[in-house]
Amino acid sequence: DEIDDPGPIPAEMLEIPGFIGRLMEYTMSQAPYPNPYMSFCGALSMLATLMSRKACDHMNTRTNLYILGLAEPGAGKDMPRKINRKIMYELGEKTGDINCKSVIVDKFGSAEGIEDGLKAYPIRLWQCDEITTLIDDMKKGGDGQSSKMAGILMQMFTTSDGMYTGRLLAHAEGQKVIHAPCLTVFGTAPPGRYYNSLTEGMLTNGFFSRQLIIEDMTHRKANFNISRDTEIPKDIMDEAKAWWNLSV
């Protein structure tokens, strides 16, 4: 049966009052080409990271979101990533927590790298630009690193409310066990390239269903009142600090 195109995401669905709304507003004020859809993805991934291992619903669902922002080149995909890095860096400066500055990862070299990174610290935000490169490699199949990474991503997603048991290590080291790993992924890609890279297997093996896909529907419009390098508003940093320091 044919499925009707539901059309673009209504703009009002991006309007979440509080931390997300304020962070979106700040992100767009810093961007030469403000993009509410990509700013929404960035703000959502930031809050998900700050709330990691601290919040869940009645089904014990955690905040390890896999968010994918689809936009054409030059549409403002990079600014939300820069703002997220800036928040975590300043949070590290304010709290003295050295983990803050290493929470955000731009690249994992391998499936073992994802596992080892979460073993070292169980909260990570992977801001993956051009995520279609990973998907294209996955289509090749076999035992390549990209195929292994896809498997690790799906396992991390489903074990966020329990224990992840990693690969068996040699000698006395035993197996890596990670309690409630919280990996949030904020990936970006051009929409046409992303959809063309998907295969039937990806649509049915659970990889696609784990993703929250937000497609850019804005018209490119320059911000002539840009004020770069302004400090992150105090209310945003105060709330970020409160979530990060929350004890459970």
- The answer, yes or no, to whether residue 147 has pLDDT greater than 80, is no
Q: How many residues does the chain have?
A: 248
pLDDT at 248: 61
Instruction: In whole angstroms, give the CA distance from residue 177 to residue 164.
Output: 6
Residue 159 tokens read as: 């074990």
Of 26-40, 80-94, 130-144, the poorest mean pLDDT is in 130-144
pLDDT value for 162: 92
Q: What is the pLDDT of residues 156-201, one digit of tens each?
A: 999 999 999 887 666 556 678 899 999 999 999 999 999 888 888 7
The model's pTM is 0.90
DSSP E strands, the chain: 66-70, 104-105, 123-128, 163-168, 175-179, 182-189, 211-215
Look-up: residue for tokens 């396992």?
155
Taking CA atoms, 19 is separated from 67, 184, 243, in Å, by: 18, 18, 11
Position 229 scores a pLDDT of 65
pLDDT at position 239 is: 96
Do residues 233 and 19 touch, judged by C-beta distance below 8 A? no
Residue 103 is predicted with a pLDDT of 96
74-107 pLDDT, tens digit per residue, is: 888 999 999 999 999 999 999 999 999 999 999 8
Give pLDDT tens digits for 198-216.
Answer: 888 778 877 788 899 999 9
Structure tokens at 55: 């919040």
